[in-house]
Amino acid sequence: MSKPRGIAYDASLNALLSPGLANGFITAAVNPSIEALCAELSRLVYRKFELDHQCDSDLQNTLKTMGLLKSERLLCDAESGTQAMGVMSRDTRRAFLVFRGSDDVLAYWTNFQFLPEDWEPQSIPGGQVHRGFSEALRSVLQPIEQWLKDVEGAELIVTGHSLGAALATLAAARWPFKRLVTFGSPRVGNQAFVASLQCGITRYVDCCDFVTTVPPTALDYADAGPATYIDRDGGVHDRPIAMATFWDRLRARIRYPIDHALRPLSVPVRDLADHAPINYLRALM
């Protein structure tokens, strides 16, 4: 178990609905872990850098303090609302593909197209995935494939939060990424699809985060890899015990109205507040 340092639990609506607004929390000087870098990148990608030159410049400066360089290539599709960014380490040995989560009407509509369809890129007997997620990834195949040529030879890591985590999971099944690191990911496909994933997988679940429980397993969806559980105090558990997580979540929900929900501009329930990207990052600092 690791203990959080430096970042407090954030139950504000801003943290949930506008996660990219806060300043950067990581610098290269602190020698962050790959998981912490992925968590921060998954938060920073919510900034609207594709629409605002100053925002893009600020983001590039933030990434430089982390020892990273942002690709100038835009990995997006306006019609579907799908957005990702490519990031390279200064020594060019490691490249990150980071997908943005839901931040507009188009992205939210993607989440609701949950009926499964056959997974196309590979011959997986019975492999099926979330239709909305699959269509969103298809909309950015060409720019991502071009970016992959730009970073050829680097160790490839794909990551994202929420919808971004779902798209990262699909990307890991399509291209030769070494690692998949997700935060607050919904379920993406059935067991046959999950079994096809060949890369290393780290799937973070923050305490009561509701998004990690949908779509339901009753619709033949399965979790992509075992959960790395973040408890109510920010402790990280690689092999969580089901009964321990049940009691931890119960205590978290009981305390939440007392500690947070009654404050102005707070998220009303812990099941949504735990989905905020900053509450994943705080456990990994």
Reported confidence tier of residue 285, pLDDT bands at 50, 70, 90: confident
Number of neighbouring beta carbons within 10 Å of residue 238: 11
Reported confidence tier of residue 282, pLDDT bands at 50, 70, 90: very high
Q: Tell whether the model's pLDDT for residue 124 goes beyond 90.
A: no
Task: Count each helix (H run) and each strand (E run) in the chain, helices first.
Answer: 11, 11
Mean pLDDT for all residues in the chain: 93
Is 62 in contact with 123 (CB distance < 8 Å)?
Answer: no
pLDDT of residue 3: 40
Residue % of the chain over a pLDDT of 70: 95
- 224's tokens: 């992509």
- 214's tokens: 């949908």
Helices 105-112 and 163-174, interaxial angle, to 10°?
Answer: 60
Q: Is this prediction's pTM over 0.85?
A: yes
Q: Measure the CA–CA gap between 224 and 201, rounded to whole angstroms.
A: 8
**Which domains are present in the chain?**
13-281 (3.40.50.1820)
Is 81 in contact with 110 (CB distance < 8 Å)?
Answer: yes
Residues 215-234 have pLDDT tens digits of 999 999 999 999 999 999 99
Interval 255-265 mean pLDDT: 95
Interval 202-215 mean pLDDT: 98
Interval 150-156 mean pLDDT: 97
